[in-house]
């Protein structure tokens, strides 16, 4: 209970880029977040959801050049060879979360590279370069995300929590040596550029105690929610309590032995204009940053549409 109170106190309004809805963080831990959106409608929340999936850019590895290398001891030229085809290695590298909080340009908008042909593009303003060189060992040597060595600013190294992502495994005589370039892109072009996962939203609900006598069936089961959790007016508004209430109600639903007696003793009502949006970040950005970026992108697009309309009408 104390924890719930603290979460409510810590809930703060944050920058949503000027789209017409109020937002408040309900919970935020590691990479997952739940946000309460008020004064809005289903279509707007869904537009925000789709903007996060498809139009909020992040960095991901896009081009890989497998190279030959020589060791100083024996002077032998090694060529990248391993159990996985290059395409699979490239795909696995693309899915590693690349730190994306930095200010990068899309390559086609980069002040240095915009005028070049696509294959020539790439500079510190629009790409991060990683180098990886690993030789196989008799017992097998797993090539991990930690083997990607960033060339340039170390803040773009693969974060510790993702270091253990395995790319491939090499045995004696096998080797891998490549330069990988991460660039900014959109989820609509490839899922490797999608910053959110498991994103969903639903209407916020209040629980209403309609029939105190029939509700006794539920209290008798000794579950998490008690009668005193309802306010004097017979309503429950606290988000985490209502979440728990939904779980408890499954014990007295129509398909249970108690269904007939319990009936509609407690019901759930949608709160008009309020929605709960929840998602996880893929680890490349803070979930709050993704929300802020998506709100700005969506609001800029809406402003463009209104400007166009004004011109036309």
Contact 306, 218 (CB under 8 A): no
In whole angstroms, the minimum distance from the beta carbon of 67 to Zn ion comes to 22
Only one residue has tokens 């990068």, namely: 104
Distance CA 162, CA 182 (A): 16
3-state secondary structure of 39: coil
Among 27, 32, 67, 112, binds Zn ion (CB under 5 A): 112
Tokens of 188: 């609509």
Contact between 167 and Zn ion per CB under 5 A: no
Contacting residue, 90, 113, 148, 183, with Zn ion by CB under 5 A: 113
Q: Please state the closest distance from residue 105 (CB atom) to Zn ion, in A.
A: 6
Closer Cβ to Zn ion, 125 or 268, answer by number: 125
Which residue, 112 or 157, has its beta carbon nearer to Zn ion?
Answer: 112
How many angstroms separate the CA atoms of 241 and 203, rounded? 15
DSSP state for residue 33 in the 8-state scheme: E
Q: Coil, strand or helix: which one is 96?
A: coil
Tell me how far apart the alpha carbons of residues 100 and 283 are, in angstroms, rounded to a whole number. 9
Which residue lies nearer to Zn ion by CB, 107 or 136? 107
Least distance to Zn ion from the beta carbon of 60, Å?
16
Asked whether the CA dihedral 104, 108, 111, 114 is positive or negative, the reply is positive
The verdict on 271 binding Zn ion (CB under 5 A) reads no
Minimum CB distance to Zn ion, residue 46 (Å) = 34
Rg (the chain; Cα; Å) = 26
Residue among 7, 54, 84, 125 that touches Zn ion (CB under 5 A):
125
Q: Which position among 25, 110, 215, 249 is part of the footprint of Zn ion (CB under 5 A)?
A: 110
Q: How many residues bind Zn ion (CB under 5 A)?
A: 6
Q: How far is the CB of 107 from Zn ion (least distance, A)?
A: 6
Interacting residue ranges for Zn ion, rule: CB under 5 A: 110, 112-113, 123, 125-126
């Amino acid at each position: 209970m104390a924890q719930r109170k603290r979460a409510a106190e810590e809930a703060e309004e944050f920058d949503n880029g000027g789209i017409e809805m109020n937002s408040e963080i309900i919970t935020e831990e590691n990479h997952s977040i739940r946000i309460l959106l008020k004064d809005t409608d289903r279509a707007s929340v869904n537009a925000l959801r789709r903007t996060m999936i498809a139009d909020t850019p992040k960095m991901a590895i896009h081009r890989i050049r497998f190279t030959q290398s020589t060791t100083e001891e024996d002077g032998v030229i090694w060529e990248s060879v391993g159990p996985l085809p290059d395409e699979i290695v490239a795909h696995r590298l693309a899915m590693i979360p690349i730190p994306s909080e930095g200010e990068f340009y899309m390559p086609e908008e980069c002040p240095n590279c915009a005028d070049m042909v696509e294959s020539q593009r790439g500079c510190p303003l629009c790409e991060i370069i990683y180098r990886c060189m690993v030789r196989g060992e008799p017992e097998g040597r797993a090539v991990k995300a930690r083997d990607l060595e960033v060339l340039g600013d170390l803040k773009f190294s693969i974060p510790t929590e993702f270091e253990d992502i395995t790319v491939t495994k090499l045995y004696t005589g096998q080797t891998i040596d490549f330069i990988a370039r991460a660039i900014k892109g959109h989820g609509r072009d490839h899922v490797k550029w999608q910053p959110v996962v498991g994103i969903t939203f639903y209407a916020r609900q209040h629980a209403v105690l309609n029939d105190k006598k029939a509700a006794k069936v539920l209290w008798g089961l000794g579950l998490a929610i008690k009668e005193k959790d309802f306010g004097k007016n017979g309503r429950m508004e606290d988000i985490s309590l209502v979440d728990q209430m939904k779980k408890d109600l499954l014990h007295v639903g129509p398909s249970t032995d108690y269904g007939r007696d319990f009936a509609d003793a407690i019901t759930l009502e949608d709160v008009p204009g309020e929605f709960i949006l929840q998602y996880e970040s893929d680890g490349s950005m803070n979930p709050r940053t993704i929300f802020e970026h998506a709100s700005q992108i969506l609001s800029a697009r809406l402003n463009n549409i209104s400007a166009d309309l004004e011109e036309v009408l």
